[in-house]
A and B are shown apart, each in its own frame.
Chain A
Amino acid sequence: MSVGENRILNGAKTFGAQVTSLIHPLSIAFIFVFWLFLHPHELQEFFAAPTKMSLIFACLLGTTLSLILICQAKANRKALSFLAIGMFCEIFIDVTNKETTHLGAENLISAIYYYTLITSLVAGSINLVAYIKEGRNTKDLISVKDMHYAWFFMSFAILHSCLKTYTMYLTPNPAYVAAIVHAYPVWIMLFNNFNHQKEYTKIKPQYILLLLISIIGLIFLGGHHH
């Protein structure tokens, strides 16, 4: 998790945000395939209904394509190879998040709690070590301004992790959740457009339409089959 976050952060600094914007959309289809690869019985179910599988795959690709076009994400080969590790980490995070809900199904509330606690502890520790290794001053970590807002980020992290883990438990495939969650930049862009903020970016309505059709398609086709 921490390796993935670092890759995205450093990638954005080195290659620009347009490059890192590719990671989330591109990971969606890979999450879908990786999950099926780990659960062959679900793959067999899909092969038994090829039309449904094709439509779901089309919706996932539609989401990926629309997100790339809306966020104007692009990258050269050098940047992509650098970010491949970050993308792999994103895939691994979502797939293992769902897998832990299966392993901890005996007590789902405890599983959600321990998942949030352990992943936070490990990711935070590794990020702290990386921070110190980069020669940065640890006193900066407790700056008054940043500490003032720390409660907001901690509350968000707890709420986000608990809600995401429960959603992962409910969804048939983690890629469906990833497809919807990774659309978050679009809501910010639409909000900025609506309020005519400085970051105003013109979004082609046909891209929004493609995104909405793909997401609605996933919701209807996804259904539930534990």
Chain B
Amino acid sequence: MQNYWWILAIILSLLTSSYVYVNQFIKVKGSHLMVYRGLGTAVVLLPFAFFFAPIHSVAFYALCIA
């Protein structure tokens, strides 16, 4: 799998283009979009925190917060 990062990168690129393309029609305000993408995503993900073992590196959390 390690040599096939480029397949995932191409999927990511197409996924991003479809997202931008769809938003051309929906036209949600950029400032709203950033709040939904951030806080909305966090609210959806937060209840699943019990299923994932914490990472023991403090630097990991520091970089995530930065």
Chain A residues within 8 Å of B, Cβ to Cβ: 2, 5-6, 9, 92, 96, 99-100, 103-104, 106-107, 109-111, 113-128, 130-131, 134, 136, 140-141, 143, 146, 149-150, 152-154, 156-161, 163-164, 166-167, 170-171, 176-177, 180-185, 187-188, 191, 199, 218-219, 222-224, 226
Q: B59 — nearest CB in chain A belongs to which residue?
A: A103
Interchain CB contact (< 8 A) of B39 among A92, A121, A134, A140: A121
In contact, A100 and B60 (Cβ under 8 angstroms): yes
In contact, A185 and B40 (Cβ under 8 angstroms): no
How far does the alpha carbon of A106 sit from the alpha carbon of B53 in the complex, in Å? 10
In contact, A116 and B26 (Cβ under 8 angstroms): no
Interchain CB contact (< 8 A) of B45 among A120, A126, A134, A187: A120
**CB contact under 8 A between A191 and B60, given known A181-B13, A183-B13:** no
In contact, A127 and B35 (Cβ under 8 angstroms): yes
**CB contact under 8 A between A109 and B52, given known A99-B63, A153-B37:** yes
In contact, B20 and A128 (Cβ under 8 angstroms): no
How far does the alpha carbon of A112 sit from the alpha carbon of B59 in the complex, in Å? 15
How far does the alpha carbon of A160 sit from the alpha carbon of B38 in the complex, in Å? 13
Q: Interface SS of chain A: helix, strand, loop or mixed?
A: helix
A-B contact count (CB 8 A): 196
Question: Which residue among B2, B17, B35 has the maximum number of chain A CB atoms within 10 Å of its CB?
Answer: B35
Contacts of A181 in B (CB 8 A): 9, 12-13, 16
How far does the alpha carbon of A99 sit from the alpha carbon of B14 in the complex, in Å? 24
- Within the complex, what minimum Cβ distance (angstroms) separates B61 from chain A? 7
Contacts of B63 in A (CB 8 A): 96, 99-100, 103
In contact, A120 and B32 (Cβ under 8 angstroms): no
7 additional contacts (CB under 8 A) given A100-B63, A127-B38: A113-B48, A120-B37, A123-B38, A127-B31, A160-B16, A181-B13, A218-B6
